[in-house]
Amino acid sequence: MHAHPRRVRFESSDAVAPHQFGVLAQLNESPRTPRELADHERVSAPSMTRTVNGLVDRGLVARTDDPTDGRQVIVSLTGEGRQLLKDIRRRRDAWMSVRVSRLSREEQDVLRQAAVILARVASE
Amino acid sequence: MHAHPRRVRFESSDAVAPHQFGVLAQLNESPRTPRELADHERVSAPSMTRTVNGLVDRGLVARTDDPTDGRQVIVSLTGEGRQLLKDIRRRRDAWMSVRVSRLSREEQDVLRQAAVILARVASE
DNA sequence: TATTGTTATACTCTATAACTATA
DNA sequence: TATAGTTATAGAGTATAACAATA
């Protein structure tokens, strides 16, 4: 509480479970209500309450009251949560980059084209 | 217990969880010990005990004693388990076939090539 | 002693039902 | 009444530790 705030992040575990990562990624787009988070992740409201609680306890997200509707709360990323998401993505990208970089240019093109096709199929 | 045995299968739920499907698929290759199943699925031995119990309860697999090593047991598919696995795969293939069949010949080629590349990357 | 498998126990994520507060 | 969120409770998956039986 008195010195190197970055040490805290680097010393703590960066691990987040898949369902937590999904919430962080959503909140990186914009703040959301628990209802919106639950619908997007296709889990029940109580499950999302639990997930959000865990992220709040870790200081990665924060709850604030909706100023216009007293029933709702707004969940948003903290600076720490945003930084953690960024770190995780950087690490994942690095992991994949190494493997893709070993492929030939033609192979990389095939993967790029396949990604486009699969994205279209998945959205049907 | 007196007539249409197939009715039983068609009336019962075909749903199997992913970790159960993995075990059925392994056993379709050949019978295995719980130890082998656990190692392959990368779960602990007690978890595999539980999974096998569930499959035994549903009549999809059976335990038999190893004749040469009294410590080991052998888990194998029942006829019902083999048939269920076959049905699930047929349904999955049908689902994917419909989507792939809507693609052009070129797009299908791209996916085939990508699958080969990704399989190689994944096995590195 | 080492190995195989199970039982005991606990933690996490999931769900549905019931409850509170607000619209 | 309907909606948003939480709490209560239970089910299914995971794990580690401890145990029994056998090699």
pLDDT digits (tens, 9 = 90+) for B45-89: 999 999 999 999 999 999 999 999 999 999 999 999 999 999 999
When CB atoms are compared, the residue of B99, B103, B117 closest to A110 is B117
pLDDT score for A13: 58
Within 8 A by CB and 6+ apart from B28, the residues are B77, B82, B85
Angle at B75 between CA B69 and CA B79, to 5 degrees: 140
Which residue in B has a C-alpha nearest to residue A101's C-alpha?
Answer: B121
* CA separation for the pair A122, A7 (Å, rounded): 41
* CA separation for the pair B84, B64 (Å, rounded): 21
pLDDT score for B124: 78
Neighbours of A90 (CB within 10 A): 10
Confidence class for position A123, pLDDT limits 50, 70, 90: confident
Question: Residue B8: is its pLDDT beyond 80?
Answer: no
Confidence class for position B13, pLDDT limits 50, 70, 90: low
- The helix (run of H) or strand (run of E) holding residue B114 is helix B105-122
Minimum-distance residue to D21 (CA–C1') = B71
Per the model's pLDDT, the better-predicted residue between A95 and A85 turns out to be: A85
Report CB contact under 8 Å: B121, A103: yes
Tens digits of per-residue pLDDT, B15-44? Answer: 899 999 999 999 999 999 999 999 999 999
